[in-house]
Structure 1
Amino acid sequence: MLDLFAEDDPWQEPLAAGALILRRRARDITGQLMQQIERIAARNPFHHRITPGGHRMSVAMTNCGALGWSADSRGYQYSAQDEFSGQGWPAMPQTFHRLAEECAREAGFAGFNPDACLINRYEPGAKLTLHQDKDERDLRQPIVSVSLGLPAVFLFGGFERGDATQRVLLEHGDVVVWGGPSRLRYHGILPLKAGIHPLTGAFRFNLTFRRAR
């Protein structure tokens, strides 16, 4: 009998109510996405932000869109300008916006219109501790997260920092969407293991789309 689905076709993997992994969903456009990241970083270079507690984040970041997310001694906030350059953030590429809107719709969140895209760059050893995305004005809007490059272990927990977490391997082209009853779940990334990816070299990149305002 003919197998109608190739072994590497995209598929959906539920995480929790309102949370879904779209495996390999962005795989066919990862080259375009990386080209856009390079253009954005040429205008707004990656920086290691300093947390309100004075710690240097191991993840380097930049932003695109009407608003950008940042951390400094004042706390965590969205702003229309980068505090390093004093300039507005680069515009969000249409390729980014379309991917985020389509993935949100496929996960059950129609009408998602992101105005901010946080771009994180991980090198070996970089991590993201468990946290909630709660600086956005409308928490009814989902989060859409796109993985590029080296694989990473995604932690997806509960509504308290000490709750048990799922450990899920995210690979090149995977997209995670969470919202609704899962919108305020804690999540993070374990320290990145060293490796070389054909497209991104020794790095992992992550695009996180939000509706901030």
Structure 2
Amino acid sequence: MPFLDLAGFQVYKSYLSSADQQQLATDLRQVVSAAPMFSPSVKTGAQMSVRMSAAGKYGWHSDASGYRYIDHHPNGTAWPDIPDSVLSIWQNLVSTSREPDCCLINFYGEGAKMGLHQDNDEADYSYPVLSISLGDSALFRVGGTQRGGKTQSIWLDSGDVVVMGGDARLAYHGVDRIKFASSRLFNAHGRLNLTLRVVD
């Protein structure tokens, strides 16, 4: 299956059809109904501009104690199962023998962004991180495995999928901004980014 290579990031443009995106949106509404979105804070106490939820064995949390995976929603309830519609993308592009432990769900509203960071809180880096974009377009920035240096950017649109493996598994990446109201997938606009990863 053809993809665009961006510094080792495999970008599958328009991977999901409109029907696929609608099905994912429907399934994710059920997940968020069971595990409502919340706004984590960073170590300084400031709240992140991105709201989050999760599905699977683990979710991600951040507060004054630092960044970590947790096995329950901050309200104490268990995370819902990862929908089959999401798992099928992982199975097609990553693995049919190992399921992801975690599907993080990040919501970007108007003005939201994500600074350059590494996904390095996992115990197993041998499996890639799979990223799925739904809704408004986002300017995705990627760099190398060391902070600083040259970066490259690409607009990710609804239905695009990115596989971050190999040399790109620990590369810095982030979202500079979203193009608010650029998609009609969600009535209130905004972007959902799903990231699936093996944690244990």
TM-score band by shorter chain is over 0.9
Contact 1:26 1:146 in 2 (8 A): no
Residue 141 of structure 1 deviates from its aligned partner by 1.2
1:54 aligns with 2:41: no
- How large is the Cα RMSD of the aligned pairs? 1.5
Q: Which has the larger radius of gyration?
A: 1
Pair 1:113 & 2:99 matched:
yes
The 8 Å contact of residues 138 and 156 in structure 2, kept in 1 or not, is answered as: yes
34-43 vs 94-103, which moves further: 94-103
Query: Sequence identity, in percent?
Result: 36
The equivalent residue for 2:196 is 209
Judge conservation of contact 2:112–2:178 (CA < 8 Å) in 1. yes
Q: Please name the residue that 2:76 is paired with.
A: 86
The DSSP-based 3-state class of the residue aligned with 1:96 is helix
State how far apart, in whole Å, the 2-side matches of 1:117 and 1:206 are: 10
Q: Structure 2 stretches of 5 or more lacking a match?
A: none
Shift of 1:197: 2.2
Alpha-carbon distance between aligned partners in 2 of 1:196 and 1:53, rounded to the nearest angstrom: 33
CA separation in 2, counterparts of 1:186 and 1:111? 28
Q: Out of 119, 141, 151, which is 1:155 matched to?
A: 141
Q: Deviations over 1:6-47 (max 9, x none)?
A: xxxx84111134x20011112341111001111011111111
Matching residue of 1:125: 111
2:200 is the alignment partner of 1:200: no
Q: Could you say which residue in structure 1 is the equivalent of 2:35?
A: 44
- Letter of the aligned partner of 1:191 in structure 2? R
Aligned-partner SS, 1:40: helix
Q: 1:181, 1:111 → 2: CA distance?
A: 22
Quote the Cα distance in structure 1 between the aligned partners of 2:49 and 2:101: 25
Query: 1:129: how far off?
Result: 0.2
Q: Where do 4+ consecutive residues of structure 1 move more than 3 Å?
A: none
* 1:96 alignment partner, one of 69, 86, 95: 86
Match for residue 14 of structure 2?
A: 24
Deviation at 1:211, TM superposition (A): 0.5
Give 1:207 shift. Answer: 0.5
Aligned residues: 198
Q: Distance in 2 between matches of 1:23 and 1:111?
A: 25
Task: Return the alpha-carbon distance in structure 1 between the equivalents of residues 30 and 76 of structure 2.
Answer: 18
CA distance in 1, matches of 2:173, 2:26: 28
